[in-house]
Chain A
Amino acid sequence: MNIKKTALTKSIWVFHISAGSCNNCDIEILDCLTPRFDLERFGIQLIGSARHADALLITGAMNRKSVPRMKKVYEQVPKPCVVVAVGTCACSQHMFRDSYNMIGPLDEILPVDLYIPGCPPKPEAMISGIVKLVTKIRKSK
């Protein structure tokens, strides 16, 4: 395994975008950083600026107001970066799928690397998803 891939998977800085969520997923994301789960053990940190990010956590149903801004933020992130859809709203729009204001699920807008369903997903589910993504990246060429 080369040093570049190790470094990229051992230190993931996360930028968190709420594209119109009800805040439950956001609270569960913050739960991952609290003493019970403590994702800083694996080098995962929440950071303030999109320019420092390695992963985008996107929560919420994609509405017409937030999608152009979300695309702008995605373009500002230095590559390589991964996009994670957190919650059923981001994965499949949940109960908002027939709403007049919705554009579509996240994977029709951005390339998504990891789906974490749940309303809201438990911190255990998020950690399990991140572990699967990290093992997949390490195995890939």
Chain B
Amino acid sequence: MKALFDYLIFPGFLFSAVIGLLAGWVDRKVTARLQWRVGPPWYQNFMDIIKLFCKETIVPEGAKLTFLFSPFFGLLSLALVATILGRSIIAPAYGFIGDLIVVLYLLMIPAIALIIGASSSKNPLASVGASREMKLVLAYELPFILSIIVVIIKSQGVIRLGGIVEHQMAFGSNIASISGVIAFLVALICVQAKLGFVPFDASESEQEIMGGVLIEYSGLPLAIFKLTKAIMLYTAPLLLMTLFLGKDLSPVFAVAKYIGILVVIILIKNTNPRLRIDQSVRFFWRFPAVLSLVAVVLALFGK
């Protein structure tokens, strides 16, 4: 019963969806202010979701069953990530050994759900988007995991999120060292790609491939994908905060750190043009991967 409540309401689905939609509003508002516009009201993203629930759902001719199922896989796994992260921030002693690895796997599932959904929709532009998404996943997972290995090394091989938080509470944040700073920057760029934000949004580019992976989705499944994006906007900065800035996670500091990371991500989004997919793969395998390897070596030497 308690677990169900955790999963569906408080640190899980409902809470993270509300916070994620509000964070999506922050994104749109900051973007608008940077362009000297006024921007939408705070309830805009909720209205978008409700409207999509009211619209007709069209299944294209020849689409497979996975077209309708795959959005739900992404949403369910991300809600689980939000639950695990939320529990390990509220009560670091709670949790099980290896939940960091579970979180890493579950964070990948929304991208896989997008790929499966797009490639079962029988649209050529969607399959172009799916192949780009696949290349992007291959590009950013290596530096992302390497930068998390830095965190694991710095907290003496603990692979429990609560344990990492406890270690940071005792010995200071992981970011307060050379290897920590490098790993944090690399992870931030990888989160940018995970969220599908500019400069790494080649798979969903609206101007060239008309929405890419989401092109055939309408109504309810599109709303589920938008909700998944919103929850991702809540969980991914939260994961960065837990891993790198975990010294003081009392509510005021936690909210301030979360908003700080969010605004940095939004500023990167608004000050960069979109990269072609080959450019982003080359970028990830040249700079962040090498930098995160350097960070691993530095962390092994205790820097």
Contact = CB atoms under 8 A, between A and B. Distances in A.
* A and B interact: yes
Contacts of B47: 6-7, 10-11, 43
Contacts of B51: 7-8, 10-11, 54
B92 interface: no
Nearest to B215: A49
Nearest to B46: A7
A76 B39 CA distance: 29
Contacts of A76: 58
A3 interface: yes
B259 interface: no
| 6 closest cross-chain pairs (CB), A and B | A48-B206, A49-B211, A7-B50, A78-B56, A7-B51, A51-B218
A41 B32 CA distance: 9
Interface residues of A, number: 24
A80 B58 CA distance: 12
Contacts of A10: 44, 47, 51
B50 A51 contact: no
A48 B56 CA distance: 18
B37 interface: yes
A48 B222 CA distance: 14
Interface residues of B, number: 31
A31 to B, nearest CB: 13
Contact of B35 (A35, A42, A54, A78): A35
Contacts of A51: 58, 211, 215-218, 222
A3 B37 CA distance: 28
A40 B36 contact: no
B54 interface: yes
Which of the listed residues A3, A52, A54, A79 has the most CB atoms from chain B within 10 Å of its own CB? A52
Given A11-B47, A78-B219, A52 B214 contact: yes
Interface in A26-55: 34-35, 38, 40-43, 47-49, 51-52, 54
B260 interface: no
A4 interface: yes
B50 A41 contact: no
Interface string B208-230: 01110011111100100000000
B100 to A, nearest CB: 36
Interface in B18-45: 28, 32, 35-41, 44
